[in-house]
Amino acid sequence: MQNFEQLGRQLQQQGKTDAIKALAETEESRRLAGMLDGAALEKAAKAGDTEALRALLGGVLRTAEGRHLAERIRRLMREEGK
């Protein structure tokens, strides 16, 4: 859980939290979130089980929408000072 908190602080320092929130609120993101087993995702995240997280997210990332969203996140993270 500490890694997620650290990531949150880093995103905030880079001024990217609003952009991430906006991306998370898109219809595409909502559809993808509906594909995830929320309880399993939470359990894996709390336990730090990266293999379980990888498996859960892998199913979503194999979809065209998942790949598109991942690319949007990659581009956002590459932007400097925005």
Show pLDDT as tens, one digit a residue, over the chain (82 residues). Answer: 457 688 788 888 888 888 888 988 999 999 998 999 989 999 998 898 999 999 999 999 999 999 999 999 889 888 865 4
Q: pTM of the prediction?
A: 0.67
Number of domains present in the structure of the chain = 1
pLDDT of residue 71: 93
Beta carbons of 74 and 13 less than 8 angstroms apart: no
Print the domain residue range for 50. 2-78
Gap between the Cα atoms of 73 and 23, Å rounded: 8
Tokens of 42: 């939470």
Gap between the Cα atoms of 65 and 48, Å rounded: 26
